[in-house]
Structure 1
Amino acid sequence: MPAYFDYNVKGEHFSLFSTYHLLTLFIVLCLSIFLYLIRNFLKKKPRDSFFRYGLGILLLLSEASYQFWLLFFHKWTLKAALPFQLSDLTVFLAAFMLFSKNRGLFSFLYFAGIGSSIQAMITPDLGLYSFPHYRYFEFYLSHGGVVLSCLFMIFTEKYRPSLFSLWMTIILINLYGVVMFLINRKLQANFLYIMEKPSNASLLNYLGPWPWYIISLEAVMIVSFFILYLPFWVKQKTA
């Protein structure tokens, strides 16, 4: 059992699109579909509140366990532990959205949360940690939870993103990127991967050298956000 929690693990490292990786992605997809199928069941109180608070607490506990894990192995550093990657930050924002039912947070998280979480789950920066290590489960629990949080607000609370919120999210992410650039220089960190590409297989590896891949990533972000908005745009036009 301790081997599943060790910081320095032996054996196979995470393998992109391995059987376990694909199965995990399939499970997240199945949970998303299942959430849609039981949406009417979850609308009724107190089930609505129970699910929202339960998922929100689960997200916070997941992140808290990661901090404790780093502290336990004396590996806690500002570079390693600060939740400044966009997909990590959205875990906390998703929990607060679930607790407060804040529409502004939903408008941001639908694009930034789902977009960054899907990207993180498809090409995770897990390094040593593969199934069934604790870090593997924590990573997919938190990022998959962000996706489910947004879908829950759509399916049961009828929240909807707008074209305005799409562009506002793009502006906010760019402003956040400027702040992260300054923090990266101060801490010699690589939050948002704007200082260098991640070591794992990633979309960034196909977007050119530094700093040009940042411009390419901006275009990819805009396109992906419009793809996320497309179902709602189609529904508006056909209503």
Structure 2
Amino acid sequence: MTAQALNLLDTSHILTFIFCIFVIVFLPRLFIGSSEKTIKILRYILAFLMISHEIFDPFFKVEVRNYAVIDALPLHMCAFSTWCISIYLLGGPRIFFLFAYFWGIVGAGMSLLTPDTEFGFPSLEYLNHMYGHLLIILGVSVAMVLMNQRPYLKDFLRIMTYTTFVFLPLMYVLNFSLETNYWYILEKPSGDNITSFMPDAPYHIFALIPAAWFFTYLVYVPYHLKDRRAN
């Protein structure tokens, strides 16, 4: 099967996206009731897969996608999410779960729905992209289902405050220093995605920040509604 230019409405992409959602939702549920040892092994395997992918991915981008080395470093938000959820699954503090929950579900979720790749299924760049972002949300799902983790409103406010007023300015400094575009704050990502409806770069950031707050709050809404019903 020859890979064609990525089309978000292609049947192959839609089916791949549905498969990813199926794995994220149902794979952790297969381990409900398993022993602590079995769940620990699952956590460690997932962390190993994510870390190994994150180490391999820059080489893949340079050799296969012809990225400049400076643009292939693991500095995008999804890369940070990968490290955060990996650290948490290996026994790290809860704050790493929170960053992965809000950054990972929104960022990796958008990336699964609208991949930043030139070609679609079954190209290597597409499969590598989908695999890496699937692992992020799967790791978060495992933490939620098997480790009983969840966010609270105060967590949403804390994570997004850090993101907006600490990490975002640091990424601006990094991008200007290295002449790169991590977090897509100087230039929009390629392809069809939410930024297509925003002003031209770099002014898209004024729409991107409130959009980020909105979508990260959306992933908290199910818990908000659950807590309201419980009260």
Question: Same-fold call, TM > 0.5?
Answer: yes
Unmatched 5+ stretches in structure 2: none
Query: 17, 31, 54: which is aligned to 1:63?
Result: 54
Question: 1:40 aligned to 2:49?
Answer: no
**SS at structure 2 position matched to 1:119:** helix
Give 1:89's aligned residue: 80
The answer to which of 145-154 and 181-190 deviates more is: 181-190
Deviations, residues 104-151 of structure 1 (Å, cap 9, x unaligned)? 111121111111111111111112x32222222221111111111111
**SS at structure 2 position matched to 1:100:** coil
Question: 1:14 aligned to 2:2?
Answer: no
Q: AA paired with 1:151?
A: S
Cα contact 1:190–1:196 (8 A) shared by 2: yes
Query: 215, 220, 223: which is aligned to 1:232?
Result: 223
Do the aligned partners of residues 109 and 73 (structure 1) sit closer, same or farther apart at CA in structure 2, a change above 3 Å counting? closer
Unmatched 5+ stretches in structure 1: 5-9
Matches of 1:228 and 1:163, distance apart in 2: 11
How many pairs are equivalent? Answer: 229
Give 1:23's aligned residue: 15
Give 1:156's aligned residue: 146
Matches of 1:53 and 1:37, distance apart in 2: 17
Question: 1:147 aligned to 2:137?
Answer: yes
Matches of 2:217 and 2:184, distance apart in 1: 22
The answer to which of 186-195 and 33-42 deviates more is: 33-42
**SS at structure 2 position matched to 1:17:** coil
Deviation at 1:76, TM superposition (A): 6.3
**SS at structure 2 position matched to 1:212:** coil
Deviation at 1:101, TM superposition (A): 4.6
How much identity, in percent, do the aligned residues show? Answer: 23
Kindly report the root-mean-square deviation, in angstroms, between the aligned alpha carbons of the 2 structures.
2.2
Deviations, residues 9-38 of structure 1 (Å, cap 9, x unaligned)? x96222223222111110111112313532
Matches of 2:40 and 2:29, distance apart in 1: 18
Give 1:180's aligned residue: 171
Matches of 1:71 and 1:213, distance apart in 2: 27
Cα contact 1:39–1:155 (8 A) shared by 2: no
Query: 183, 200, 216: which is aligned to 1:209?
Result: 200
The answer to which of 69-78 and 197-206 deviates more is: 69-78
Give 2:100's aligned residue: 109
Cα contact 1:70–1:81 (8 A) shared by 2: yes
Cα contact 1:108–1:165 (8 A) shared by 2: no
Matches of 1:62 and 1:192, distance apart in 2: 19
Deviation at 1:163, TM superposition (A): 1.0
Deviations, residues 201-224 of structure 1 (Å, cap 9, x unaligned)? 111010222343212111111111
